[in-house]
Amino acid sequence: MRLLHNYHYIGAVILFCIGLYTVIVRRNIIKKLIGLNIMETAVFFFYISLGYVDNGIAPIRVGGADPSKMVNPIPQALILTGIVVAVSVTALALSLVILLYRQFGTLDVDHLMRDEAEEAKEAGE
């Protein structure tokens, strides 16, 4: 059965769902960011396993390695880009979180939203 052959993809799906659950349910912003990173990892994992070949070797042409046995180099090159972008996004988000904590003294999303709503109500009156 094909679903059992593709068990790497199933792992990626499970990781993605765990990350999405964390993003939706957790109230702490840093935990939401961790969930976002888990989702990114799931996507990277999926891409890298797309490039795998049975009994494949690393795509490095040293010692007369056979090119037809090498794994697909394109997903690895793309995911290197993706990892750098993920690091950039995480750094930017974390610095915003630091600013938010300095301003409000809490990382709880519900508290933050309530503060916003109260302020809006006061400004309206």
Partner 1 sequence: MKKIISLLFISALGVLLLFVVASMPRMGDPESPTREHVIPRYLENAEEETNSPNVITGIILNYRGYDTSGEVTVIFCALACVLAILGREKRGRIHSYVDRSPVPASPVVKTMVRFLAPFIILFSVYTILHGEISPGGGFQGGAIVGASIIIFTTIFGLWEASRRIPQKFRVPLEGSAFIIFFIVGILGIVGGGNFLTYAWPNIANNLQPSVVLWLTIIVEIGIGLGGAMVLISILFAMMREEEAIAPTA
Q: Which residues bind partner 1 (CB under 8 A)?
A: 2-3, 5-6, 8-10, 13-14, 16-17, 20-21, 24-25, 49-54, 56, 58-62, 67-68, 70, 72-77, 80-81, 83-85, 87-89, 91-92, 94-96, 98-99
Nearer to partner 1, 50 or 115 (CB): 50
Q: How many C-alpha atoms does 51 have within 13 Å on its Cβ side?
A: 18
Alpha carbon distance 102, 80 (integer Å): 33
Nearer to partner 1, 83 or 117 (CB): 83
Minimum distance from residue 125 beta carbon to partner 1 (Å): 30
* 8 A C-beta contact, residue 107 and residue 28: yes
Nearer to partner 1, 24 or 123 (CB): 24
Alpha carbon distance 57, 68 (integer Å): 10
Minimum distance from residue 104 beta carbon to partner 1 (Å): 15
Alpha carbon distance 114, 68 (integer Å): 59
